[in-house]
Structure 1
Amino acid sequence: MTSATPSSERRVSARIGAISESATLAVDAKAKALKAAGRPVIGFGAGEPDFPTPDYIVEAAVEACRNPKYHRYTPAGGLPELKAAIAAKTLRDSGYEVDASQVLVTNGGKQAIYEAFAAILDPGDEVIVPAPYWTTYPESIRLAGGVPVEVVADETTGYRVSVEQLEAARTERTKVVLFVSPSNPTGSVYSEADARAIGEWAAEKGLWVLTDEIYEHLVYGDAKFTSLPVLVPALRDKCIIVNGVAKTYAMTGWRVGWVIAPQDVIKAATNLQSHATSNVSNVAQVAALAAVSGNLDAVAEMRKAFDRRRQTMVKMLNEIDGVFCPTPEGAFYAYPSVKELIGKEIRGKRPQSSVELAALILDEVEVAVVPGEAFGTPGYLRLSYALGDEDLVEGVSRIQKLLAEAKA
């Protein structure tokens, strides 16, 4: 029997050593490295719009660079004018009225998620996490001392969990339930009735809800975004919203997100941020101010393109024998099941997992996709359709031709 390595002999702490690399970023990095080496790789890995940040936002940042006011430290919790604008934007877009004192501006959505969990979790507190989930949620929970408890939904329900599943996962240690609609990685969107049922259940059980609204403006067809604390006002005192400018305004690299929560939680999270990073870059904050204060014309144009690509991708994926892809209603991802292809022979190899299948696709046809293991559900692939139409068709065509060779 091997004993654990004594703490004095560890070079990296057990807490940090247990963190997994972001699988989505790893796939994107590998695809970009191959491209840089001259390979014709098409990457479906990254979750970012392929559009430039709108000009008026960029110009606001340029002006901020020239203003000495922004060359200095500013409040750790965010520029007061940006916090006020985020509160106004939240009322405009979702009908949820909050005060600027309930807003914390963060270095992107990931910091928002971690700080929110860190502010309310004590060691051993459980968080119910519907799966498939975005890779960062469980790691943020663990870093904050919590325990993620997965509740799995599959393609038969459109990747949506039920109240009955959530209740079955609840224990005396449960403190928070995570709610994400539209979803990364599946693109699923909960109906108003289903969202309300989950919110009412959480309120009845006295649970906190953390809801990620980053894809609020990217919904298609008859699907509608609904903000949980608007549907269920009883949640207001135990609801945390995380959001940001990354997806709506094609600003993934600007790194501006935010937390909206009760004032005591915001105060605690702001204290944490004051020691971790201090204020978000002032130039990026001014750009975000221009974004959230402006209209939504840019996202309307992106949404048209994403909708077109969504339909093309889903149609092409469902033409592959052994692949089933529900039509996503939001975000910009397709999440096809490839379970029927696992173990089949493809060009002399028999992939035994979606990790191995994704590796085979990259090696054989130079297309990068993210395996479902990254999202807590083996047997699936995630493909982003936030890339040009020609690349999308070419990339999926390569996958079609490769997987058509699968045999028992």
Structure 2
Amino acid sequence: MKQNNNGVWVSWNENVTYNYKSLYTISTEQELQEVVKNSQKIRIFGNKQSSADIASGTENLVDIKDYNKILSYNNTEQTITVQSGIILGDLIEAVEAKGWCIPCLPDINTITIGGALATGTHGTSGKLLSEYITECNIILADGSLKKITDKDDLINAVRVSLGVLGVLSTITFKCEPIYTLHIKEGPESDAIWLPKIKERLKKHDFLRILWIPHTDKGYVITGDKIDPNTEIKEDLGPKYLKHRRTASKILYKYSHVFPWITAIANKLLYRGFFSSTKEHKGSLYQATVTKSRGSTLELAEWTIGLDIFPTVFEELKSEINKWSNKSFIHIPMDVRFVHKDKSWLSYAYKKDTVTMGCVSRNAATADTYEAFKSIENIFLKHGGKPHWAKRFKAKDAELSKVYEKWDDFKLLRRKLDPTNKFLNPYLTELFNEKKTTNDFT
């Protein structure tokens, strides 16, 4: 175990900074237990890619990235057990090497598994990543180790916990046999793709829609399971498509000064990068997951019940297209679909859900990005829920209205962490708890 004293923690986007007293780099479960036991206040972090202020702000911090081993496989049960600091990309590569897959993957592979699970990370056309946990070890506030299985009632609180019930240590995932997807991509007008969502969810194994605000267009991506030996006519589109991020960076460079530029930029980006069709095949990981995030950006994401998504979408579209509107939204807005589950703080608790992401390509000016305010106001109005790892303003008063198990979770949190060891200033306010003098600034 390594320890650095009296430094400054800086987030990936460099928009969140905190002083700390001690920063620990650990590689064993015993070291993690020791640090937790001996700390008054502590938070755990990985690659710092959360847009929410969730990972730091306490006197003691733990860098979890070296706690990253694959511990075991169970060939009969098709499970893999890993340490919580492993990067998602490394986990999936190990799973695929066994001829397995985890059926629902996020769109980015550089996050640590512990952080991904704690914040309800998800992909599309499946469940939250945390729903594939069959067993985990969690380190409680007193440093003791508790094993939880999918047969325990507590698992539904632990699957998505924001790291406030304890520290996820080792995790066992249930996998499935690997499969190949035949992916087709192409543009459609809003009038076509919006009413076809339910039909496509039944027809296809994979569905994702990249909405292009201010253009009345969406970019639809479908995937169907096929025999891996099936020949398809691969078409990856024009070679210049790989330059979309660079073009976006240039076109949005001054959009924080002149927001209306965004509407023009979106139309240009649609014509250049979203107007062609593509066709290819691969595993879920190979065909659909971004292997890197080329530049810093800020994200908000909101979820809403599948049944009322068209209503919410039309209201959002109408709002941002008003002449009086200041919310010019960078592209794309990522529309994904999550199956219902029983996890207390899941976005899909007891209902099939649609998620809609909102991105600011200018991370440094995200605090004045009007789109984050507009999408939050509209989704909250309809009972929507924010992604825990992304930007939102809602706190205890609003969250208690949209999360059925919110108060139960708060009671459990106080029971497992009576001294608020795992709360930082942001989480203290989120849960409406009393502040302590051990929070760092």
- Measured against the shorter chain, the TM-score band is under 0.3
Structure ranking higher on relative contact order (CA contacts 8 Å, 6+ apart):
1
TM-score normalized with structure 2 length: 0.24
Which has more strand, going by share of residues?
A: 2
Which has more helix, going by share of residues?
A: 1
TM-score normalized with structure 1 length: 0.25
